[in-house]
Chains A and B, each alone.
Chain A
Amino acid sequence: MLSKLIDNLKTKNEIEILRDEIALLSQSIYQGGEKNIENSLKNDIRIWVSETIRNETQNVNLRDYFNDIEKELDRIKSVSITLAYEPSELSVRRFYDFVQSIMPKKIVLELLYDPQIVGGVVISYGGRYKDYSFRKIFEDELEETRKDVLELLGKAKK
């Protein structure tokens, strides 16, 4: 069963943030022992993360716990989607829910912003690539009508 820390992750960016927080907590333990971690949880970590850690580490060795979290974070695969706009949190949730519902294992979304694609999305996962952007549609259409366009341009120039 996955920790809630892992379960709540939706994007690759969130993984990196959590990884930094875990590293910070591990450092606190290393420097001041497990007793020192409470200060870090209060001052340096997001509320939902702190609460989840407190809940999940009541009878668990903190070092082992953090090690497991890091290993789990390394195993998570990501689906890359390139968008022509910057989506809201709600949109991201909807995209994540759709993709996760069809994947057997935990995944996260890697969100990329590229206004050049004009609209639609470019998806990349596990070495596979699909371009559903408007740019691709325009380029394909242009290839088919290239000669006609050049003729038109030539006539327009004259």
Chain B
Amino acid sequence: MEIEYLLRIFISSVFVNNVILSRFLGLCSFIAISKEIKPAVAMSFAVLFVITMSSLITWGIFRFLLAPFHIEYLRTISFILVIATFVQLVEMVIRKFAPALYRFFGIYLPLITVNCAVLGVAVLNSEMFFQNGKPISGSFVYSLFQGICVGLGYLVAMVLMSSIRHRLELADVPKAFQGPAIGFIIAAILSMAFLGFSGFRI
């Protein structure tokens, strides 16, 4: 485990391979919940939490169940199972102990269940930090850290997008482009801007 490698993971998943703007995962929530800054940030923190926890759990599943029995091809289905269960569990706990928070998250929490960014990170972890079914040294910390960083990347993209769309509210957008149409155009321009990072050698 090296600090340098952790820094590489950070730069890579926040900027160079940003989960939304470079990998194009989790676009549904990116377009739907980026109209205002506050819900966008709330959604991002919910995603950050779920991605971090699910990369932790899926590492365990892959390490102790899938890899030893050589059934890596069941990766997708078992990861989805883990994520769905985990989100349900979190929802229950929040509903019991923090009803205000539950009302605040509202529809976002169940939405995360089917957010492909979460599954994407879990799959990526199992590809990057395992070699021939054997974990590389420090793979657990790397997985956890990558989960956090991808969540941060999601936060960066959401804040950028929602701030731009917030300003667009007052702009004179042509009628044909109003609503999600201009949102997609902005997403494309942002994504092209993030392509500028792809020249980085890390």
A-B interaction: no
